[in-house]
Amino acid sequence: MKKYFLTLLFSTIFCSFVFSQGLFDNLTSQSSDSEEKKSSLEFNGFTRGVVYGGSKDFDYSNVFGEFALKGRFEKQKAFLYADMRIREGIFYNDRELQLQLKEAYAGYRSNKIDLFLGNQIVMWGRTDGFNPTNNITPNDYFFLTYDPDDQKMSNFMLRAKIKPTTTIDIELIAIPFYKPSVYRYDLFNMGQFGSFDIGESVSFAQVQNPEVKFDKGSLAARFNLESSLISFSASYFVGYNPFYGFNLENFTFSPLSVSFRPEPYFMHTIGADFALPIKSWIFRGEMALNLTEDYEKQMNIPNPDLSYVVGIERSFWDIMAIFQYVGKYTFDFTELTEPASPDFSDFTAIPQYAADMAMFESQNYNRKIFNQQEKTNHMLFLSLNRSFLYDELNIELTGAYNITSEEHMIRSRVKWNLTDAVSANIGCSFMLGPDGSIYNMAGGVMNGVFLGLEVGF
């Protein structure tokens, strides 16, 4: 059924593009001669050094030098963009030379339709920090710098944007193969399974990606309205989520060994967002209804849920403040039952108890990373930003507190523009939580202070 649905939706995207192209050919052909002859070639980039470290488990989490080269070319209706990165340094005690094609795509742009093909970063949603409608772009959450946007990874896709009016656009996206986000669970101290300290006994296999087939791709569509009174969009996504859970692949008691395999899951997402300015206030909201199947049988698949964000944005005393409430409601929620402790004098019962605890803790861990450990999940988010000295100095402070799990995060950053081309960044990021929480485990790897010096050209 999924195969026929994806084929039908892809055909709709293709036909929409062909129809729109024919419909607007006459309109775009009326462009002025000066527009037809317009041509531009632009190169820019930067070199930077970054130090990020001071966590419990790593003195130096990420320390590297990086060179970035970006190119943009436009001629008549032709368009291309490329962003190349090369970096060398220490990443969690491993010395690596990394070459990254951040983005690379070619395209056609006109007044009424744009068409792009290649590696692209596409961000959906109008709230800050938490975007439940954004299922397009994977992230490398363990690439640590002073700028969280560095974690965004491109996806290969065909993207069409139809612009029937100056305030409305319709975006259609086809992603032929899956690209997962990066989660280094292997760096975490998983703690204990009941009475058993699993210590170094845990291993994680490579992500089990879906096959490269037509019916394993992802499709997305978004209707977007931008006006002076309100901004609004409605979106739909069908495919494999870049965010994934894991399955317990193997457990042995003697010797103690636990192995996990991360596995993506298929889902449908119906989303919407808005931004409403009222005098000096901006009210924002975003929601996503996520629908999954086989969640009763597979621990790597979350239950269907409704994720939502509501927030307000206002400037006072030259401080830009953003306050948000982030919530989630989980459908078909059932409590997990912890296995009862056996009679430890009966040695034959201990291996079965250990296997039951391994299954219980694995299911519980998946629920934690999906924020589905309770039927409802509540979190508060606050961001403060202020510039000084005619924008030469900028200070950011961000904090989040999860009321449900009692986890909290704080991040600060000071950016000093020494000249037009040189900037220095210094700050810190800390995640804290109760024993066994995700923030507690991640904090041992990702907490720390950072320093960066960047020269752009």
Residue 14: predicted pLDDT: 47
DSSP state for residue 5 in the 8-state scheme? H
DSSP state for residue 136 in the 8-state scheme? S
Beta strands, E only, 92-230: 94-109, 113-120, 155-162, 168-175, 192-193, 196-197, 202-204, 218-226
Q: Which amino acid is at 377?
A: N
Whole-angstrom distance, CA of residue 221 vs CA of residue 214: 18
Q: What are the C-alpha distances in Å from 366 to residues 210, 247, 290?
A: 20, 9, 16
121: phi then psi, degrees, rounded to nearest 5: -110, 120
DSSP state for residue 139 in the 8-state scheme? B
Residue 191: predicted pLDDT: 64
12's tokens: 């709709």
Residue-level pLDDT, tens digit, the chain, 457 residues: 454 445 444 554 444 444 444 444 444 444 444 445 578 999 999 999 999 999 999 999 999 999 999 999 999 999 999 999 999 999 999 999 999 999 999 999 999 999 999 999 999 999 988 899 999 999 999 999 999 999 999 999 999 999 999 999 999 999 999 999 998 888 887 665 555 566 667 778 888 889 999 889 999 999 999 999 999 999 999 999 999 999 988 888 777 788 888 999 999 999 999 999 999 999 999 999 999 999 999 999 999 999 999 999 999 999 999 999 999 999 999 999 888 887 777 777 888 888 888 889 889 989 999 999 999 999 999 999 999 998 899 999 999 999 999 999 999 999 999 999 999 999 999 999 998 889 998 999 999 999 999 999 9
Write out pLDDT tens, residues 382-433. Answer: 999 999 998 899 999 999 999 999 999 999 999 999 999 999 999 999 999 9
- Of 391, 422, 451, 420, the C-alpha closest to 47 is 422
The strand pair at 448-456 and 39-53 is best described as antiparallel
- Of 135, 110, 101, the C-alpha closest to 20 is 110
Whole-angstrom distance, CA of residue 277 vs CA of residue 230: 7
Whole-angstrom distance, CA of residue 292 vs CA of residue 112: 36
Whole-angstrom distance, CA of residue 134 vs CA of residue 241: 10
Burial class (CB in 10 A: 0-12, 13-18, 19+), 350: middle
Please answer whether residues 63 and 47 qualify as being in contact, where contact means their C-beta atoms are separated by less than 8 angstroms. Answer: no
| The CATH classification of domain 2-23+49-456, taken from the options 1.10.940.10, 3.40.50.300, 2.40.110.10, 2.40.160.10 | 2.40.160.10
Q: Count how many Cα atoms sit within 13 Å of the Cα of residue 38 in the half-sphere of its side chain.
A: 14
Whole-angstrom distance, CA of residue 275 vs CA of residue 126: 7
Whole-angstrom distance, CA of residue 144 vs CA of residue 419: 25
Q: H or E element: which one contains 353?
A: helix 350-369
List helix spans (H) across 177-268: none
CA 184 to chain CA mean position, Å: 14
Whole-angstrom distance, CA of residue 155 vs CA of residue 123: 11
10: phi then psi, degrees, rounded to nearest 5: -65, -40
Residue 22: predicted pLDDT: 47
Whole-angstrom distance, CA of residue 21 vs CA of residue 15: 10
The strand pair at 113-120 and 94-109 is best described as antiparallel
Longest distance between any two alpha carbons in the chain, whole Å: 90
Residue 198: predicted pLDDT: 66
149's tokens: 């946007």
DSSP state for residue 185 in the 8-state scheme? G
Whole-angstrom distance, CA of residue 218 vs CA of residue 176: 7
Whole-angstrom distance, CA of residue 38 vs CA of residue 77: 9
- Of 8, 26, 19, the C-alpha closest to 162 is 19
399's tokens: 């904090």
Burial class (CB in 10 A: 0-12, 13-18, 19+), 373: buried
Please answer whether residues 172 and 160 qualify as being in contact, where contact means their C-beta atoms are separated by less than 8 angstroms. Answer: yes
Please answer whether residues 244 and 300 qualify as being in contact, where contact means their C-beta atoms are separated by less than 8 angstroms. Answer: yes
Cβ within 8 Å of residue 361, ≥6 positions away: 193, 194
